[in-house]
Amino acid sequence: MKKIINYNSFLNESKKSQQKFFKDVEKILKQYGGVKKETEYNIKYEFTSKKYGKFTASLHTDDDDKIYSVFGRFDDEKLVKDDPKFDSFDLNKYSGKCNFHNRDAGYVIEQLEKLLKIIKD
């Protein structure tokens, strides 16, 4: 006999874990001095660094799957593209985007915090 998967239950658990992830990420973003800008589908935090310019971190609140994501972007990619401090990140040196995606929420949070420590003045 095949086991029947309760997809509604799966989606509810996924949504709960995303909500916890959002709460944990927002706590870190606030801790590092991010200024909150909320839209209908995004929660954004903006950071201003004397050395690296403006950095925006976004959470897409309509996501409810098992991939945890933080979308990041430096406004002026020229300020970060050649800095070796960013070599361990998947930084797009042409657009300034630095996104974090993983099935492990802890890993995403760890990488985000590592980046915020670098850009913090």
Q: Domain of residue 25: give its range.
A: 7-119
The pLDDT score that the predictor gives to residue 12 is 52
The pLDDT score that the predictor gives to residue 41 is 78
Render pLDDT for 14-33 as a digit per residue (tens, 0 to 9): 778 888 999 999 999 999 99
Region of residue 33 (left: phi > 0; alpha: psi -120 to 50; beta: else)? left
What single DSSP character describes residue 4?
P
**CATH code of the domain in which 29 resides:** 3.90.1150
Confirm whether 68 is domain-assigned. Answer: yes
Number of domains in the chain: 1
Confirm whether 1 is domain-assigned. Answer: no
Is the separation of the CB atoms in 86 and 118 below 8 Å? yes
The pLDDT score that the predictor gives to residue 44 is 94
Confirm whether 2 is domain-assigned. Answer: no
Q: For the chain, what is the largest distance between any 2 Cα atoms, rounded to a whole number of angstroms?
A: 63
The pLDDT score that the predictor gives to residue 64 is 57
More confident residue, 9 or 57: 57
Render pLDDT for 58-114 as a digit per residue (tens, 0 to 9): 998 665 567 899 999 999 999 998 999 999 998 998 999 999 999 999 999 999 999
Distance CA 102, CA 117 (A): 20
Residue type at position 51: K
Confirm whether 41 is domain-assigned. Answer: yes
Distance CA 53, CA 35 (A): 14
Distance CA 45, CA 22 (A): 12
Q: What's the CA dihedral at 67, 100, 45, 28 to 10 degrees?
A: 90
Confirm whether 29 is domain-assigned. Answer: yes
More confident residue, 101 or 7: 101
Cβ-Cβ contacts under 8 Å for 9 (sequence gap 6 or more): none
More confident residue, 42 or 91: 91
The pLDDT score that the predictor gives to residue 7 is 43
